[in-house]
Amino acid sequence: MIRRPFRIALVGSGIGGLSAALSLRQAGFDVQVYEQAPELTEVGGGINMGPNAVRILYRLGLRDALEREAVRPLGTHQRRWQDGRTLQRAPLNPLCEQLYGAPHLTVHRADLLSVIAGAFPPERLHLGHRVVGLGDKGDHVEAWFDNGARINADVLVAADGINSTVRAALFGEEAARFAGCVAYRGLVPVERIAHLGLEIGTQSWVGPGGHFVHYFVSRGRLLNFVGWTEHDTWNREDWTDRATIARALAAFEGWHPQVRQIIAAAETCFIWALFDRDPLPRWSVGRTTLLGDACHPMYPFMGQGAAQAIEDGATLAACLGTGNPDDPAEALQRYERLRLPRVTRVQEMSRANKIRFHLPDGPAQQARDAEWARASDRSPEALRWLHGFEAGVLDQAETS
């Protein structure tokens, strides 16, 4: 066992960073979190939390708070963009809890972040600290911040997102690539769409060059939607972060009336561009490692980016907790070895879904629809490898 107290500095207080902070504290480490923003914020609307992540969050003591804030979707339903025909359906709850020991949840991102943050001691969260440099001193790591502060730690874990400063410091600068997709994101008060009689579940509509997803969040008071469309280029001159409802409706011209009625009922609509990076061959150098979008940003087409970051934290805590006290770098190497194949698989599947979901109508789309009708790729059996995985149990991680 590594001698304690063992000081871990975590950079970034997003869903990945803060959930890792809880996992590391539960394993007995002395954790401090450094966040550039002056306050905790999560932009955007909803997020799907698969049972693989919810199980970890429950173990961190967040069950009651999550159940209060989140929604338990009964199933997923994929439909054709134009006529609404069912392509595939699969049950989620209560089956996920029976099979995997935790439900599948849909939750507002701000609610999820505040549930996680609520379990972390506020005096250990240092807001307004933007890391600008770091150095491995052999027996400890140093980091310095834009506000002039400097810190020492035994290990530094960077969960500072897709544009990670620490990743650039370790492996070199490389701009993220525009992925050829933008999302229209909005929240709709449920009373405005009550007449649609929507299922308590996740619906996703797939069509040529785009797809549209909606589900309930915020104790069922809001419907979250994300509508994806493909574009060749992205630049700030042509796009603004806030889109008009009219622009979103134009992007989904000709789609099923339910899709269009949901967009039309939104209070506001935001537009968001998707960026991408290739998988990294390694995440750790000496006593420093990466976690979450900092090392494996992924298209959100498996609904797993944050869930994989939560898994990272559980595996990291288990590796450091059982590692050689004099060699934390070895524990970080083990963490990276265990996590890389799994997140790379999810990254690759998310990429493949971008193509599969957006096929133009024609033979390839018909073959896809026939395949989904024959063998659902959303069934609990098909997703057992994803949802049944125990990220904090090293034996299982090692043999998977």
Ligand X SMILES: Cc1cc2nc3c(=O)[nH]c(=O)nc-3n(C[C@H](O)[C@H](O)[C@H](O)COP(=O)(O)OP(=O)(O)OC[C@H]3O[C@@H](n4cnc5c(N)ncnc54)[C@H](O)[C@@H]3O)c2cc1C
Task: Identify which of residues 10 and 249 has a Cβ nearer to ligand X in the complex.
Answer: 10
Minimum CB–partner distance for residue 355 and ligand X (Å): 18
Please give the residue ranges that form the binding site for ligand X (CB under 6 A). 11-17, 34-37, 47-48, 130-131, 159-161, 165, 183, 226, 272, 292-294, 300, 303-307, 309
- 40 by Cβ neighbours in 10 Å (0-12 / 13-18 / 19+) ranks as middle
Pairing, β 86-91 against β 46-49: unpaired
The angle that helices 109-117 and 15-26 make with each other, rounded to 10 degrees, is 30
Nearer to ligand X, 307 or 332 (CB): 307
| Comparison of 202 and 376: residue with beta carbon closer to ligand X | 202
Ramachandran angles phi, psi of 265, nearest 5°: -90, -5
34 or 365: CB nearest ligand X: 34
Handedness of CA 23, 25, 29, 35 (dihedral sign): positive
Q: Which is nearer to ligand X, 2 or 60 (CB)?
A: 60
- Strand bridging mode 141-145 / 125-126: unpaired
Two tokens, residue 216: 């309930």
- Which tokens belong to 306? 């944050």
Instruction: Answer whether 29's CB lies under 8 Å from 124's CB.
Output: no
**Smallest distance, Å, CB 347 to ligand X?**
11
Strands (E), the chain: 7-11, 30-34, 46-49, 75-80, 86-91, 105-108, 125-126, 131-136, 141-145, 150-153, 155-158, 177-189, 202-207, 210-217, 222-230, 242-243, 269-276, 288-290
Count of CB atoms within 10 A of residue 234's CB? 16
**270: Cα within 13 Å, side-chain hemisphere:** 13
Burial class (CB in 10 A: 0-12, 13-18, 19+), 377: middle
366 vs 293: CA distance, rounded Å? 34
Q: Which two tokens stand for residue 218?
A: 């915020």
Let me know if 299 is a catalytic residue: no
From the CB of 53, what's the least distance to ligand X, in Å? 7
Q: Specify the amino acid at residue 20.
A: A
**Nearer of residues 186 and 303 to ligand X, judged by Cβ:** 303
* Pair 73, 35: CB distance under 8 Å: no
Shortest Cβ distance from residue 110 to ligand X (Å)?
Answer: 12
Q: How far is the CB of 11 from ligand X (least distance, A)?
A: 5
100, 184, 215, 299: the catalytic one is 215
Q: How far apart are CA 308 and CA 288, in angstroms?
A: 19
Nearer to ligand X by Cβ, of 27 and 343: the residue is: 343
CB of 273 to ligand X, least distance (A): 9
Query: At closest approach, how far in Å is the CB of 130 from ligand X?
Result: 4
CB atoms within 10 A of CB 330: 13
**At CB < 8 A and 24+ separation, what contacts does 241-247 make?**
241/270, 241/271, 241/272, 242/268, 242/269, 242/270, 242/271, 243/184, 243/269, 243/270, 243/271, 244/269, 245/269, 247/184, 247/271
Shortest distance, position 364 Cβ to ligand X, whole Å: 25
* Closer to ligand X by Cβ: residue 35 or 369: 35
Catalytic residues: 215
